[in-house]
Amino acid sequence: MAKIIGIDLGTSNSAAAVMLGGKPTLIPASEGTTVGGKAFPSVVGLTKDGQLIVGEPARRQAVTNPEGTVVAAKRKMGTDHFFKIYDKEYKPQQISAFILQKIKRDAEAFTGEKVEKAVITVPAYFNDNQRQATKDAGQIAGLDVVRIINEPTAAALAFGLDKLKQDMKIMVFDLGGGTLDVTIMEMGGGVFEVMSTSGDTQLGGTDMDKVLIDYVVDSFRKTSGVDISKDSAAMVRVREAAEKAKIELSSIFETDVNLPFISYDQSSGPKNLELKITRAKFEELINPIVERCRPSVTKSMEDAKLTPADVSKIILVGGPTRIPLVKKFVANLMGKEPEAGIDPMEAVALGAAVQAGIIGGEVTSDIVLLDVTPLTLGLEVLGGLREPIIDRNTTIPTSKSKVFTTAADNQTAVTIHVVQGERPMAADNVSLGSFNLSGILPAPRGIPQIEVKFDIDANGILNVAAKDLATQKEAKITISASTKLAKEDIEKMTKDAELFAEQDKKKKEEVLIKNEAQQSIYAAETLISQQKDKISQEQGVQVSNAMKELKDVLDKGIEEIKPKLDLLTKLINDISTELYKNATPPPGATGQSGPETTTQNGPSATGQDASNSPN
């Protein structure tokens, strides 16, 4: 079935998105990403010779062709206004149709399919005329507009609020390039209803850019005595540097505007613009603009007859809401933090795509809505460590297997303990169950091969099977609750993993070094017993002593084990090197051969006696 796309037809910028593999994805503009990200300016240019230019190229030619350039046609939608361009008249919906045609082309290039249907968003305050005009624009562009939805509703869909299945009041604070829209909505039974709208059509990010540019120009005038405001080449550089500084100050506290050779003076030579801007200074500059948002928020609350405490979710939309001061302002005013996780520049287009997906049956379809494992599934190995088998967020159904081995000589059974969670120690995770595989043929440690297979079906049922590859003996367990966890539990377990990360890392290191120590002791014992005649008595005593010393500190900390372990490893290595040197190579031998050995972190399974080791 052909895709339905979602379109955010904005006043200053437009963007579109489509559901891909069950996820809303932004459609990049054909001319590539610009300052506005994947969105493009809602500018249309018609040249004297009848050429049509839309988006970023239209913005670039605006100065050369002011009569043929239309910006913000959205403001005139649903009115009788005509744009007169070179003796021809265009209705606002015709101009919007040019933008929609470009989106249609870009979407077809992006999806590789024909695009004929769309969901288009409009401001919540748009009346029937304006909505009809938007629909007409779609029709002119060759798009069947299957639904017109409110921009704040689209934003709420992008944040997945409709899935929360609870009644709530939502405030959408949409601060764009040149307009502020505040909407209060009520959601009940998955239906959004607008309670009030308020806003300011002459307030936005452009005002903030302007104060910052003015500040840079003024500072330079004060320090150098030169006014660069009339120098268009210099001003282009200042504008770009200010934009960069604005973005940087959203994540760091101080940035440098550094524009060498910004002007040249015959008498005093070149002049450089160097200016440090702190976030505090930037906030001081834009604070009056941010404050101008206050009346709109207050009014929307009054009209909806609500207090801030009644509003349970706040959504921020528009580029300027990325600025920490704006976020803080809204949070302080409403007494709670806004929702996070979706780019505020993309939220409306993404939400429109979600709506398109719902209409197209894509979102509810079980083909697309695949589940994921919320937490890592693994098993307990030597020393109580957790060996992950299926990582968290893996899409199910899935199956993965790993080969493990025994930790003790002549071990005939292993216990498979299945755990779920993000912590490196098995005991810190949730135990899902355990079972034994017995009947393993007696063999030295590290020889038996036991394949453990984790298989989760589409319903989240986990089957774990362990098989001795030599005897083909198998044992298994079925766990039905592996993916059905409460959201809070998943969050708590994930948070715990972060919280205890440092502590867990230490614990894991300790276990790893203990495992290594036991491994070295085993290797030393084997070496001495097998190579008795080839090792000098002195060497034998040295190794035995080192082994004993290491055994004595096995239950102590890393600091004590490490030097003893290093000593024993060195002694073993020295002896092995010597033995190899003295050994005559077999005829035709060109390199080392022998059984494959696994690495330090290689597979191993918990033994029946809980004394397993890797290899």
Partner 1 sequence: MHDVSQNDLKEDQEYHDKNDDEIKSEQQLVETIKVQLEQEKDKVSSCEKKIQYLLADFENLKKRSEIDIQNRVNSITDGIILKFLGIYDDFIRAKDALSKQDTNTDGLDAILKNMDTFLIEFGVKPIESVGEIFDPKLHEAISVKEDLTLDDNTITAELRKGYILKDRVIRPTLVEISKRDIKEMNTNG
**Residue (of 375, 379, 420) closest to 396 by Cα position:** 375
What's the rounded Cα separation, in Å, for the pair 375 and 377?
6
Judge whether 212 and 282 are in contact, CB under 8 Å: yes
Cis omega (within 30 of 0) for bond into 397: yes
20 binds partner 1 (CB under 8 A): yes
Task: Pick between residue 259 and residue 314 the one whose CB is nearest to partner 1.
Answer: 259
Q: How far is the CB of 61 from partner 1 (least distance, A)?
A: 4
Q: Given the complex with partner 1, which of 4 and 325 has the nearer CB atom?
A: 4
Contact between 31 and partner 1 per CB under 8 A: yes
Q: Are 273 and 257 in contact (CB under 8 A)?
A: yes
Other beta carbons within 10 angstroms of residue 4's beta carbon come to 26
Active-site residue flag, 231: no
228 lies in the site for partner 1, by CB under 8 A: no
- Residue 67 near partner 1 by CB under 8 A: yes
Question: CB-wise, 46 or 293, nearer to partner 1?
Answer: 46
Annotated catalytic, 151? yes
- Residue with smaller CB distance to partner 1, 441 or 458: 458
Q: Judge residue 376's burial from the number of C-beta atoms within 10 Å of its C-beta, 0-12 exposed, 13-18 middle, 19 or more buried.
A: buried
- Which of 151, 422, 455, 504 does the annotation list as catalytic? 151
Q: What is the CA radius of gyration of the chain?
A: 34
Residue 25: which of 435, 483, 357, 431 has the closest Cα? 357
Q: Can residue 64 be called a binding residue for partner 1 (CB under 8 A)?
A: yes
What phi, psi does 580 have (nearest 5°)? -65, -40
Burial environment of residue 407 by CB neighbours within 10 A (0 to 12, 13 to 18, 19 or more): buried
Q: Which stretch binds partner 1 (CB under 8 A): 8-16, 58-66, 178-186, 382-390?
A: 58-66
Q: Does 21 bind partner 1 (CB under 8 A)?
A: yes
Q: Is 597 in the site for partner 1 (CB under 8 A)?
A: no
* Catalytic option among 3, 38, 74, 135: 74
Q: C-beta of 571: minimal distance to partner 1 in Å?
A: 50
When the beta carbons of 86 and 580 are compared against partner 1, the nearer one is 86
Torsion sign over Cα 89, 91, 97, 98: positive
* Active-site residue flag, 74: yes
- Give the C-alpha separation, 497 to 160, whole Å: 26
Tell which one of 50, 63, 559, 597 touches partner 1 (CB under 8 A): 63
120: helix, strand or coil: strand
Q: Which of 142, 260, 444, 557 binds partner 1 (CB under 8 A)?
A: 260
Q: Other C-beta atoms within 10 Å of 467: how many?
A: 19
With binding defined as CB under 8 A, does residue 27 bind partner 1?
no
Site pattern 74..113 for partner 1 (x: CB under 8 A): ---------xxx--------------------------x-
| Catalytic residue set | 8, 74, 151, 174
Residues near partner 1 (CB under 8 A) are: 20-21, 28, 31-33, 45, 53, 57-64, 66-73, 83-85, 112, 232-233, 236-237, 260-261, 264, 269-270, 367
